[in-house]
Structure 1
C-alpha cells in the first residue's frame, strides 16, 4: 500500500514540477531564443540589431500572406513561415518601435484592396489561377512608405538584408547625394570620330533616377560637403587638392566606389592614342591595395565570343564573369548572373596591411596578363590566343574595409586648412578594375519601339552599379550585413541517388539513340535499293535484322524502366528508414529516457520518505 501511495505521490510531483517549469519558462525566459540552425537563419546579425536600436519612431509592418489561398503549396508556405518567423524576431528585438500586423488578403476583401493600395504584387499560382500575396508594406510615423512587392524564395539568402534595408530607409528618409567624378562622356555628347551625338550611358541614367547625382570633372578642386557616396570613374590627372579631398572624405567615414582601368577602350580615340590607364596609386597605397594599370587580364575560360570580319572568334580580353566568378557572400553580387567587361586590370593586396580585403570579382584559373600598350595596338584578336600563356587567377574587384591611413602627412599647400585626419578604422571602399564595364555595349541592347528607344539588358552590369551605390549609401550597420544561409536544406543522399540513376539512365538512353540512328541509316539504304518502283522489299536476312533490333529496343526500354524503378525503390527505402526513426525510434528513446528519470525520481522520493 505504501509503495502504491509513493508511486502516486511521485507521479503527482512530476506533473507539478512540469507545470512549474513551463510557467517559469513562459514568465522568465519568454524572450530567450536559441537558434540551432547551421547558418543561424532565424537570428539577426549585429548590423540588423544596430538598425533596430537606432529607430526613433515606431514603424508599422503589414505582412500580407494568403494563408488560405496557398493551401497545398508546401514550398511557398514553408518560405512564408520563414519570412514570418524572421519578422517576429525583428519585432521581438525592437519592442514597441516595431509593430507587426499579419494580414490574410482573401479575394474581394478589404485586406486585398489594402494590399493593392500598397502596390504589392499578387502571384498567380496553381491551375485555378488563384492570386497569392506574400509581400510586406511598411510605414513610419511620417507616413513614408516602403514595400517588398513579393518575397521571392530564390532570393532567400538576401532576405535579412532586404528587410533591414527597408527599415533603414524608413528610419533615415533623407535623399542620397552621389558625387560622380569623371572626364568620360557618361552624359553623352558628340563623338569625335563619327560626328554623331552619343546618348548618355544607361548605367548612369538609371542611377540618376534613384539618387541625386552631381557630376564633376577631374579639374574640380574638391568634393561637395553633402556627398553621401563618391563614384570615381577612370581618374586621370586629378589635382592634389582633389586627391586630398577624396583622402579626407574616405578617412572621415565617406563611402567610395572606384572604377579603374588599364585601358579604357570604349573611348573613341583609344584606337589612335594607345593605352590610357587610370592613375590613383597614391591613394590605393594608403588603402593597402595596388592596381596594375599597365597590364590587362586575359582569360581563356571567360573570354566572350565576338564577330569579326572573318567570322566569330573568342576575345580573351572581353570577359564574361558568371556566378562562379562572383562572390556569393556579398549582397552586391549575390543575385547577379553575368557581368561583362573589357581589358580588366587586377588588384593585389599590400603585405602587412591592416585593411580587410574581400574580393568580389575573379578571373578563372585560366588567366594571364599582357602589357596594356601591346594590347591596345592589337587589331587581330586571334593573336591574343596565339600568344596566351596561362598563369593564375586574378582579383578584378575588391571591397576594402577596416583600418587605413592617410596618403598625406600634412595638408597640401594651397588647400583649405582644416582638421587633418591621419587614419581611420572604418574604411569603406569598393574597387573595380574596369570602366568599359559601365558602357552600354557590354550589358544593354537598344531597339526601336514605335519611335521610342527601348533598352534591354543582357548582363547585370547596371545592377552591380546600383547595388553597390545602394549598399554604400546605407549605414555601416547595413553595409555589414552579408547574405545569409537558406532555410531549405537539400536531401543530399536522395540527390546522390538521383544523380547516380540519371547517369545510368542517360548512358542507356544515348546507346538506344545511337542504335535508332543506325537503323534509320540502314532503312534509308534499303529504300534506295528499292529503285524507282517505290516498293521496299526486304530479304529474309534484312527482315531478321530488323526484328532483332525491335526486340533489342523493347529490352532496352525495359531496362530503362528498371533503372527508374530501382531509383524510386531506393528513395522509398530511405524514406521508410527516416519515417521509422522519426515516428517510432525517437519516441521510444524518449519514453525510455523519461522512464529512467521517473525511476531515479521515485528512488529519491522513496529514500526521502
Structure 2
C-alpha cells in the first residue's frame, strides 16, 4: 500500500515538474542553432548581419505565407520555412530595429485584402514580404521563389536598405551614339530608379560624385572619353559596359578590355542553333543566365541580336564570372565560316556573352593621351560588367509586355551602385556537391550525345524531307492506292532505323549518369530500413548474449 502511494506521489511530482518546466523555464532557454552546412547557408552572412545591425529606425516586416494554397508545391512549402528562418535571423541581428510579423492569410480575409493592396502576387498563394518604416514609402517583394534561393539574403537586404536609405542612387550614363529615340524605354526606367547624370561623349574627365557608370557603345567613343573611363575604373569606380562587337572595336577599347583581363571577339557574330528564333535573334532562357548572380533576379528570357563572345585573357589574375552564356551548340561565324564557340571563348565550352570582372587591372594608356599626362596605371581591385551586345537595350527588343532585357541591365546597375553594406552580400549557391556532380555528368552526357548524333539527325531530317516529297499527305474521302516503290521502302526503313540508333546513342551517353542516379535512389530508400535492421540485430545479439551468460555462483 505504502509502495503504491509512494509511486503515485512520485509520478505526480514528476508530472508537475514537467509542466512547470514547459510553462516557466522553456521560454528562458536560449535558442541555440548549429549550422553544419559547408557554406554556412543557414547562418546570416557577416555582411547581412552588419546591414541589419546598422539599420536606421524601427522597421516592420510583414511576411505573408499561404502554405495551404492548393497550387503551392512541397518545394515552395519548404522554401517558405527557409524564408521564415532567415527573416528571424535578420530580426535577431537587428537587435530590436526589426519587428517581424508572420501572417498565414486565409482566403478572402482582411490580411489577404491588405496584401493585395500592397501588390503582392497571389497566383500561387501569397508568398511575399512588405516592409514599412515611419515616414517612408512601403517596400515589397511581390513573391519569393525557390528558383532565386541563392539571392534570398540579398533580396531581403535590398528591401531593408531601401527602407533605411530610400534616396535614389546617382549613376552616370555615357553612350557613343544617341539613344534618346532608340532606347526610350530604357531611359524611362533608368530615370525612375536612379538619379541619372547623362554625360557627353567628348568628355575628358569623369565628373565628381559619380561612383557608378553605364556605358553603351563604347566602341564609338573618342579616345579621350575612353581614357576617362580607364581612369575612372582604376580609381575605384564601378562600370557596366554594353558593346556591339560586330561593329569592330577600336584598338584602344580592345586594349582597355585586355587591361581588365577580358578578350572580346570582334571579327564575327555568335550563332546559336538552340536559342535562335525567327529574324535571326537569340532568345536566351533563364538557363542561360547565372542563377547565382544578382543580374538574374526575376529575369526569365532575354532577346539579343548580333551577339559577341567574351573570354578571360591568358595569364591574368582577374576573376571572370559568366553572367550570360550560349548553349553547347553555339558557333562563332567569321566571314561566313562557322567555328565552335569554345574556340572563340576558350574559358568554357558554352560561349560567354556577359561576364562580371573583378580583380587587378592595368591601364591601356601608359603614356596618357593627346597631351594629357599618364594617370593611374594599375588597380588591385576593379568592379566591371561587360555585355557583348548593345542592341538588347533598344526598344525594338523590349516590348511593354517583356522588359527582361531592361530588368537585366537594371539589376546589374543597381548592384554596382548599391552601398557597400548591401553590395558585400554575395549570393550563396544552395546546390550541394552531389547535385554539382550530377549536373556536370549530365552536361558531359549531352555533349557526348550531340557529338555523335549530329550526322544521324541530319540524315533523319533529309530522309523525312524526301519521304514527304515522294509521299505527300493528302486529304481524301475515298480509298487510295498504296505506293510501295523501292525508294519509298528504303526511306521507310531509314525512318525506322535512324530513330532507333539515336535512341541507342542517348541510352549509351546517359548510361553512367542513370547508374549514379539509381545508386543514389537506392541508398536513400534503403538507408533507414537498413539502420533499423542493424539496430534490431544488435539488440537481438545483446539479448542472446545475456541469456547465454553462465549463472554466477554464490558462496
TM-score interval (norm. to shorter)? 0.5 to 0.7
Residue in structure 1 matching 2:406, options 457, 462, 466: 462
Deviation string 1:498-553 (CA, Å, 9 cap, x unpaired) is: xxxxxxxxxxxxxxxxxxxxxxx9xx999679xxxxxxxxxxxxxxxxxxxxxxxx
**Alpha-carbon deviation of 1:429?**
0.3
**Alpha-carbon deviation of 1:27?**
6.9
Residue in structure 2 matching 1:152, options 135, 145, 150: 145
Q: Is the 8 A contact 2:59 2:98 kept in 1?
A: yes
**Alpha-carbon deviation of 1:232?**
0.7
SS in 2 for 1:263: helix
SS in 2 for 1:215: strand
Q: Is the 8 A contact 2:276 2:283 kept in 1?
A: yes
Deviation string 1:55-104 (CA, Å, 9 cap, x unpaired) is: 24332212233467779975554332221111112222332232212234
| Cα 1:355/1:133, change in 2 over 3 Å | same
**Alpha-carbon deviation of 1:183?**
2.9
**Alpha-carbon deviation of 1:327?**
2.6
Q: Is the 8 A contact 1:40 1:485 kept in 2?
A: no
Equivalent residue number for residue 234 of structure 2: 251
1:210-609 correspondence to structure 2 within 5 Å? 210-236=193-219, 238-239=221-222, 241-264=224-247, 280-293=253-266, 295-302=267-274, 304-306=276-278, 315=280, 318-333=281-296, 336-371=299-334, 374=335, 384=336, 387-390=337-340, 392=342, 393=349, 394-408=351-365, 423-441=378-396, 443-445=397-399, 455-457=400-402, 460-479=404-423, 480-482=425-427, 484-485=429-430, 581=528, 585=532
| Cα 1:253/1:167, change in 2 over 3 Å | farther
Equivalent residue number for residue 501 of structure 2: none
| Cα 1:484/1:280, change in 2 over 3 Å | same
Q: Is the 8 A contact 2:154 2:426 kept in 1?
A: yes
| Cα 1:200/1:411, change in 2 over 3 Å | closer
Output the CA distance in 2 between the equivalents of 1:407 and 1:31: 55
Q: Is the 8 A contact 1:326 1:334 kept in 2?
A: no
Answer yes or no: is 1:44 the counterpart of 2:44: yes
Q: TM-score normalized by structure 1?
A: 0.60
SS in 2 for 1:35: coil
Equivalent residue number for residue 161 of structure 2: 168
Output the CA distance in 2 between the equivalents of 1:181 and 1:71: 46
1:45-124 correspondence to structure 2 within 5 Å? 45-66=45-66, 76-106=76-106, 111-112=111-112, 114-123=114-123
Deviation string 1:9-44 (CA, Å, 9 cap, x unpaired) is: xxx9xxx9xx99xx999878x354222357754233
Output the CA distance in 2 between the equivalents of 1:579 and 1:303: 42
SS in 1 for 2:100: strand
Q: Structure 2 regions of 5+ residues with no counterpart?
A: 1-12, 343-348, 439-472, 482-517, 547-555
**Alpha-carbon deviation of 1:432?**
1.0
**Alpha-carbon deviation of 1:181?**
0.8
**Alpha-carbon deviation of 1:324?**
4.2
Q: CA RMSD of the aligned region, Å?
A: 4.7
Q: TM-score normalized by structure 2?
A: 0.65
Equivalent residue number for residue 134 of structure 1: 127
| Cα 1:591/1:253, change in 2 over 3 Å | farther
Output the CA distance in 2 between the equivalents of 1:323 and 1:161: 19
Output the CA distance in 1 between the equivalents of 2:408 and 2:71: 37
Output the CA distance in 1 between the equivalents of 2:303 and 2:72: 41
Output the CA distance in 1 between the equivalents of 2:426 and 2:296: 13
Which stretch of the first structure deviates more once superposed, 330-339 or 581-590?
Answer: 581-590
| Cα 1:237/1:425, change in 2 over 3 Å | same
**Alpha-carbon deviation of 1:178?**
2.4
Which stretch of the first structure deviates more once superposed, 326-335 or 174-183?
Answer: 326-335
SS in 2 for 1:222: coil
| Cα 1:61/1:411, change in 2 over 3 Å | farther
